[in-house]
Amino acid sequence: MNQEILEKLAEVIDQLREILEALEESPDIKSHHLLDNAFGNCEEVYNEYNV
């Protein structure tokens, strides 16, 4: 179970890095979409594992 949590968190971290890169280029719709996905994944991890 801990490995699953770490894998999910690694995915979220990668998505947050993508967001930062996108925001550096321009704060557009794509970056907002990426941000929504990352927060959705954070919420999923929280709800699934009660982290």
pLDDT digits (tens, 9 = 90+) for 19-36: 777 777 776 666 677 777
Does residue 5 surpass a pLDDT of 70? yes
Q: What is the dihedral of CA 23, 15, 10, 37, to 10 degrees?
A: 130
3-state secondary structure of 26: coil
Q: What is the pTM of this model?
A: 0.56
* Domain housing 16: 2-49
| Tally of domains within the chain | 1
